[in-house]
């Protein structure tokens, strides 16, 4: 039925964007008016309700606000709206996305403290507690859930417990984990969670979203440092009828609605997580079988994206990348300073048989380049 949609020339193992289904790409093919209920109510409001339902069983306490732009725009809108003028945010960093939040705070002139860790170390509850104890001015804490820089999975449940016990507002960048790893933000007490259209929900890029505790968001009126990035402004307009304040990325939004249907058809977040785990297991077992080592120990590793060390000093990633791409798989360069790595993501419209084909492709490339 979807034969009219062309096959992709390669699979993106690069979240994100990531590979999407033909159904999602087919949903892009018509125009929408943004003032009628067929778009605002049927699509936008429905998406907002479904995002909250994915995030928590406590649907009454939370709301979802969609924001034009890539995922970083949603994180920045969240930070710039959540922090009052006299607030101070403690930012836990062990990779580029945590560092990006620090950069946002600097640009927005938000008072901040960085708790900087090595890229291969997860923050501990003890360190977080100590950081909170030594600075009573801290009002907010920002944590990255899956730090896509390395693939490390930060222990958000334990950390959230410390933040909430201390009575601070908690902001989580769950960009690359939301929809792919089950957790309940209501149970963890997360006040603001940011993610985007083109990660584990498997839509196409074009907007981000923040799932916020209603009470917390209510208190943020007047905080925003930017008109367009004002999460409260967007929420107030969107909550009335599903209309975005400024032009909404209609095609992307409709494709995201389809992606949510496909997530449900797959069996929800639990089933998607199981597929990602399986993809990841085949990837890591296969790569280890070919002599590659992972950067992280298994207990810190997420089932989203994995960093592999260059096998030896002669390894030329560019050559390897081009050869694997020619076989239909796009890998991701490394992003860390401490070691020479490259990354392979396993989220998106990617299945265990694709990961098996990938391992075969890597085997062939490795054998050829040894000659
Ligand atoms: C993808 C990602 C982002 C957002 O990146 P954009 O390029 O702005 O979409 C932010 N944080 C994490 C952890 C991510 O994986």
> Per-residue pLDDT tens for 306-322?
999 999 989 999 999 99
Mean of the per-residue pLDDT values of the chain: 96
Q: What is the dihedral of CA 73, 173, 67, 8, to 10 degrees?
A: 90
Task: Using the predicted structure, report yes or no on whether residue 330 has a pLDDT greater than 80.
Answer: yes
Give the Cα separation of 14 and 207 in Å (integer).
18
Q: Give all domains of the chain, ordered by start, each with its CATH number.
A: 22-264 (3.40.640.10), 268-370 (3.90.1150.10)
Give the Cα separation of 259 and 254 in Å (integer).
9
Residue 370 CA to ligand 1 centre (angstroms): 36
Using a cut of 0.85, tell me whether the model's pTM lies above it.
Answer: yes
Structure-token match 């998406």, residue found: 47
Instruction: Answer whether 104 contacts ligand 1 (Cβ < 6 A).
Output: no
Task: Using the predicted structure, report yes or no on whether residue 371 has a pLDDT greater than 80.
Answer: no
- pLDDT for 163 equals 98
> Per-residue pLDDT tens for 195-247?
999 999 999 999 999 999 999 999 999 999 999 999 999 999 999 999 999 99
- Looking only at the bridges linking them, the beta strands covering 329-330 and 11-12 are parallel
Report, as an integer, the average pLDDT of 15-40.
94
153 Ramachandran zone, left/alpha/beta (phi>0; psi -120 to 50): beta
Task: Using the predicted structure, report yes or no on whether residue 368 has a pLDDT greater than 80.
Answer: no
Residue 145 CA to ligand 1 centre (angstroms): 11
Question: For residue 169, which phi and psi values (nearest 5 degrees)?
Answer: -85, 135
Instruction: Answer whether 347 contacts ligand 1 (Cβ < 6 A).
Output: no
Which residues on adjacent β-strands are paired with residue 209? 66, 195
SS (H, E, C) 59-73: HHHEEEEEEECCHHH
E strand or H helix that includes residue 49: helix 46-55
Residue 158 CA to ligand 1 centre (angstroms): 23
Instruction: Answer whether 70 contacts ligand 1 (Cβ < 6 A).
Output: yes
Residue 175 CA to ligand 1 centre (angstroms): 6
Give the Cα separation of 34 and 40 in Å (integer).
7
User: Which mutation among 13, 14, 15, 16 tests ligand 1's pocket best, with the greatest number of atoms within 8 A of CB?
Assistant: 16
Residue 277 CA to ligand 1 centre (angstroms): 21
Report, as an integer, the average pLDDT of 317-340.
92
**Percent over 90 (pLDDT), the chain:** 95
> Per-residue pLDDT tens for 34-77?
989 999 999 999 999 999 999 999 999 999 999 999 999 999 99
8 Å CB contact between 229 and 77: yes
From 252, 295, 5, 365, select the one nearest 148 (Cα to Cα).
Answer: 295
């Amino acid at each position: 039925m979807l034969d009219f949609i062309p096959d992709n020339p390669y699979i993106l193992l690069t979240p994100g964007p990531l590979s999407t289904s033909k159904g999602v790409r087919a949903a892009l093919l018509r125009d929408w008016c943004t003032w009628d209920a067929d778009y605002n109510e049927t699509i936008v409001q429905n998406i907002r309700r479904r995002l909250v339902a994915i995030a928590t069983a406590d649907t009454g306490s939370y709301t979802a606000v969609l924001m034009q732009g890539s995922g970083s725009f949603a994180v920045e809108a969240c930070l710039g709206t959540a922090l009052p003028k006299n607030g101070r945010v403690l930012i836990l960093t062990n990779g580029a996305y945590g560092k990006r939040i620090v950069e946002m705070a600097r640009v927005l002139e938000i008072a901040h403290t960085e708790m900087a860790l090595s890229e291969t170390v997860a923050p501990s509850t003890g360190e977080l507690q100590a950081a909170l104890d030594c600075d009573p001015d801290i009002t907010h804490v920002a944590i990255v859930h899956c730090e896509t820089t390395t693939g490390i999975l930060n222990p958000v449940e334990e950390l959230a417990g410390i933040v909430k016990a201390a009575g601070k507002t908690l902001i989580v960048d769950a960009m690359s984990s939301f929809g792919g790893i089950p957790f309940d933000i209501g149970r963890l007490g997360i006040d603001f969670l940011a993610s985007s259209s083109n990660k584990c929900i498997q839509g196409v890029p074009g907007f981000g979203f923040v799932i916020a505790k209603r009470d917390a968001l209510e208190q943020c009126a007047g905080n925003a440092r930017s008109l367009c990035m004002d999460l409260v402004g967007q929420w107030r307009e969107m909550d009335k009828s599903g209309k975005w304040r400024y032009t909404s990325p209609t095609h992307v939004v409709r494709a995201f609605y389809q992606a949510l249907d496909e997530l449900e058809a797959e069996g929800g977040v639990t089933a998607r997580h199981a597929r990602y785990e399986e993809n990841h297991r085949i990837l890591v077992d296969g790569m280890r079988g070919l002599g590659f080592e992972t950067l992280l120990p298994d207990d810190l590793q997420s089932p989203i994206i994995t960093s592999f060390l260059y096998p030896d000093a002669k390894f030329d990633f560019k050559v390897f990348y081009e050869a694997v791409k020619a076989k239909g798989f796009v890998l991701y360069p490394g992003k860390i300073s401490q070691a020479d790595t490259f990354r392979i993501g396993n989220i998106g419209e990617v299945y265990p048989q694709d990961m098996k084909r990938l391992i075969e492709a890597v085997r062939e490339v490795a054998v050829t380049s040894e000659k």
